[in-house]
Structure formats: structure tokens, C-alpha cells
Chain A
């Protein structure tokens, strides 16, 4: 397992992965020269009999009747995190590696003022549009409809949990290589134009969310902090988003009419 250094959303990460499936021809876009320094380090460890350490911080991710399936051992501020996976407890180790390293990276990112939002983020006309919903609702599908419709005018920043950051008084959306099943992502940042919350439906009606509804929906789709100082960082971004970014709820079916609804609302004309 070769160790490389990556720059993801402004965070210098030292990481070595074992399985190519999700990382090869994906994470290279984030690779930088290794000068021995990093903000955070993730080490993957595959063991057959996992016991919690006798001292230091650890968090068990998953257990079964036989014992610990996966856990992480971490130090202060998550500078060094070791993810321990029981080789015999997972039938799909590649996916386990991808998901756990992604989860841990997001917790690291939160500590730097980045807000992960469960959404499919595309770029269109120089700005980022995010389609947010719980898993299985159809956000990737909706993003794909935009790609079908507008071809090279659309690209993915991230298809699972793009990272939002406040820079000055503007909100930017950053890509990362941890990007869900389809892995679509780019190592770029774009200014946020709008967030569209999706629910499965048939009308394609779109309504603007008021501050209360917007906060509720955002809270459902962010990575929830566990420490007060990190809540403060996340809430600062949320406050800015609620104040300045128009957000909508779309009752979406799986057709181009759903795209029409959003396009018309955001750009004010029928396409």
C-alpha cells in the first residue's frame, strides 16, 4: 500500500489505500508532492481479531456476534486516524475501505470549517447547484438528467457529499474523491448558486423554502458534529447559506420536466 499525500478541499491528507476499485483513476487528481507534512493522516489496517486499544481514543463503527467488525483509533483533533477493518467480517472489503475512509475524511474536514452536505453537486454556467435528499430518493438520477440535457455545460463536483465552505461572504462547493457509487467528482471549487431538496413525486412542483424549513432540511442532510466548537463552525455556514442562498423543495419525477421546473425557477425562462 503506497502512501501518498493529497490536497482535498484545502486539507492535506496522507493516505494509503489497499484497493484500487474506487480510488484508481479518481484520487490521482488530488495528489500533491509528498514533503513529509500533512494536516491529517488516515491509515488502513486489516486484521482478523480486533480488540480496542487499552488507552487512547477509539470508536467502534460496527460489531457482530463474533466481535468488532470495524473501528477507528484516533488522536487529538483527528490528526492521525487508523481505521481497523476485520477482513473476515466483510464480503466487500473494497466498498468498506471506500466508505470508512470517506466518513473519517469528512469528520476531519468538519474541523476545518467545511460542511459536508448529502447531495449531488453539479456545475452549470460557472456555479454549483446541489440536489439534496436522503439516499435512494433520486439525486444522482436528477443530476444525470441535467447532464443529458445540457451535455458539456454540466459536470459533477461530487455525487455524494460535496464540501461547503465560507470564504469571505461567499459559499463555495468543493469536490473530493469520496463520491458515492458512481464516483463522479472533480478537484475544483465553485460558488454555490442554489440547493434543491428533492422528494419523490409526480408534479414537479417547486416551492421556495422559508428559513425554518430550510434549516430543518439542511440539518437532516449534513454530517452532524459531536463537539460544540464544530457545531459552531457548521452553524456559521448554515446561517450564511440560509441568509443568502435560495433553496427549494422539488416534487420530482424522473423526467426532463423536473429539470424544466428547476431551470425555469433558477434562470427565469423556459428552456
Chain B
């Protein structure tokens, strides 16, 4: 899985947001704010990742147990799918 190139992560003050460029800019009129976990996962997903790789990365980086990591990763991927941010 990988996030479409036309979605970029930006920082405004201490907020992390995702904005669309190019073709996606015409289609996507909303704004996405990311909490630190989501920002971490978003950055990983700029390259092709499996769900397992994401869970492992999250556990390494944040010292959380597997159950929480699985839950967070799964929820984030569902959100990305819902808003069509993932490459097909």
C-alpha cells in the first residue's frame, strides 16, 4: 500500500495537515489533520508498505503493545481508504 503522490504532508504551526495537489486538488476539497501517530504512518506510506510492516514500525517507534498498534494502523488505513488516498 502506498499513498497517492498527489497528497502531501505539511506543517502549519504545530498542526500536521495533508493537502492535495495536481489532479487530486480538483477532486478533494477537504482538509485532513493528523495526530502524531497518523503523521508517522503517513510518512511511512510514502513508500510501499504492508500492514504488518506498519504495525512493526509503530511498535518500534512508540513502544506500544501489538494490540494497540494493530488497532491504530487498521483504523488509519480504513480512513485512507474511505477518502481514497491510497494508490490503486
Binding site for B on A (CB under 8 A): 211-212, 215-216, 219-220, 224-228, 231-232, 235, 238-239, 242-243
Interface stretch of the complex, out of B13-21, B46-54, B58-66: B13-21
Number of A-B contacts (CB under 8 A): 43
Number of interface residues of B (CB under 8 A): 15
B21 touches A235 (CB 8 A): no
B19 touches A231 (CB 8 A): yes
Which residue from B8, B17, B21, B29 sits with its C-beta under 8 Å from A215?
A: B17
B33 within 8 A of A: yes
Binding site for A on B (CB under 8 A): 8, 10, 12-15, 17, 19, 21-22, 25-26, 29, 31, 33
Bound Cα distance A262, B33 (Å): 29
The distance from the CB of A213 to the nearest CB of chain B, in whole angstroms, is: 11
Given A215-B31, A226-B22, A239-B12, 4 more A-B residue pairs with CB atoms under 8 Å apart are A211-B15, A220-B31, A225-B21, A235-B19
Residues of B within 8 A of A228 (CB): 8, 21
The distance from the CB of B32 to the nearest CB of chain A, in whole angstroms, is: 10
B26 touches A226 (CB 8 A): yes
10 closest cross-chain pairs (CB), A and B: A226-B25, A219-B31, A228-B21, A239-B12, A231-B19, A242-B13, A235-B12, A239-B13, A235-B10, A238-B12
